[in-house]
Amino acid sequence: MDITTLGELLIDFTEAGLSPSGMLMFERNPGGAVANVAAAGARFGLKTAFIGKVGGDMHGQFLKNTLTRYGVDTRNLLTDGESFTTLAFVALGEGGEREFSFYRRNLADLRLRADELDAELLSGTKMLHTGTLSLTAEPARGATLGAVLLAKRAGAVISCDVNYRASLWESEAEFAARSRELLRETDLLKVSAEEAEVLTGFSDHERAAESLLNEYGLYAAAVTLGERGAYILTRRGGAFAPAYYADAIDTSGAGDTFWSGFLYSFLRSGLSLSELDADAAAPFLKFANAAASVCVERRGAMPALPALDEVIARLRRQTGAARCV
């Protein structure tokens, strides 16, 4: 397996206009940050798998069928007949920016247990990608950390997306404390500028990346900067790549598409973690930004994921030169 992801798989109910009676309508879209990475990787041609849990309801079956249709291995996607699938209602603002309302307390994705993990899958994957949303409650927190340790012992690269949603945590301090447990085992980190500031106290993305790299011994920390582009700091220098022009209507899944594009580029390169430097990372960022620019021009998260040929076409149409800094 190229990438195995573990964490949340959920329904995004996204604003979809008004009904004839003037009531707000919502469209059911498959989503979940780590699940999006698995689906996007499969779209790029990687072998991907997803580990998690959905409820024994119509939404859970829909999500499992969706991942299967995308080509994601779902052998360790479990169904919990005693709980419901997590839901998120998504309001879209100007430029496709989102506001979330989560229905997640005691729901299926948080009920994944460490003893339910497929050890063979985790021991045989090149990379394990997870995020911080599965750290909000037990037993999913223990399952996440257990999976990371198992995969790392087997030689897998550990990737993490710091995904902060204020309504899911008691405080920023709790979020930061729980994130540190995972970051100590992480090799490749993706974080937004806002999340980086929460974790480090630095509003400057370069200082924040340096702080994260030094504190946790990362091989690379990528900071997404929205419409400005993205910055990455490796142990051997940093690089910046501007964003590609896009007529954004929905930014759902953009960060996940970006990170999947970066991980795809890294795996395809054949480089080891110790070989990753600014010169190598710069074109990876270009590809990642191009992928994200395609995603934001469509509605939904998973339904908006681009195919490999679409990203290549975007790269050819726009230069978006990256530079080492």
Give 23-35 pLDDT, tens digit per residue.
Answer: 888 889 999 999 9
**Catalytic residue (choose from 256, 277, 279, 309):** 256
Query: Region 213-235: what's the mean pLDDT?
Result: 96
Rounded mean pLDDT of the chain?
93
Enumerate residues 6+ apart whose C-beta is below 8 A from 270.
none
Among 16, 59, 18, smallest CA distance to 35 is for: 59
Task: Report the 10 Å Cβ neighbour count for 19.
Answer: 9
Q: Are strands 87-92 and 10-18 parallel, antiparallel or unpaired?
A: parallel
pLDDT surpassing 70 at residue 57: yes
As a whole number of angstroms, the longest Cα–Cα distance in the chain is 60
Tokens of 286: 């270009």
What tens digit of pLDDT does each residue of 127-141 get? 999 999 999 999 999
pLDDT value, residue 163: 86
What tens digit of pLDDT does each residue of 299-324 get? 888 999 999 999 999 998 866 566 55
Global pTM?
0.94
198, HSE (Cβ side, Cα atoms, 13 Å): 21
pLDDT surpassing 90 at residue 93: no
Q: Please check whether the domain covering 3-324 is classified as CATH 3.40.1190.20.
A: yes
pLDDT surpassing 90 at residue 54: yes
pLDDT value, residue 92: 67
pLDDT value, residue 81: 93
What tens digit of pLDDT does each residue of 253-288 get? 899 999 999 999 999 999 999 999 999 999 999 999
pLDDT value, residue 26: 87
Residue 187 is a catalytic residue: no
CA distance 26 to 29: 9
pLDDT value, residue 168: 81
What type of residue is 69? R
pLDDT value, residue 251: 86
Phi (first) and psi of residue 288, to 5 degrees: -60, -45
> For the chain, what are the domain ranges?
3-324
Query: Region 80-106: what's the mean pLDDT?
Result: 77
pLDDT value, residue 288: 97
Confidence of residue 104 (pLDDT cuts 50, 70, 90): confident
Among 150, 160, 145, smallest CA distance to 121 is for: 150
pLDDT value, residue 313: 94
Rounded to the nearest 10°, the torsion over CA 33, 36, 41, 43 is -160
Spell out the alpha helix ranges (H) of 118-171: 119-123, 140-153
pLDDT value, residue 49: 98
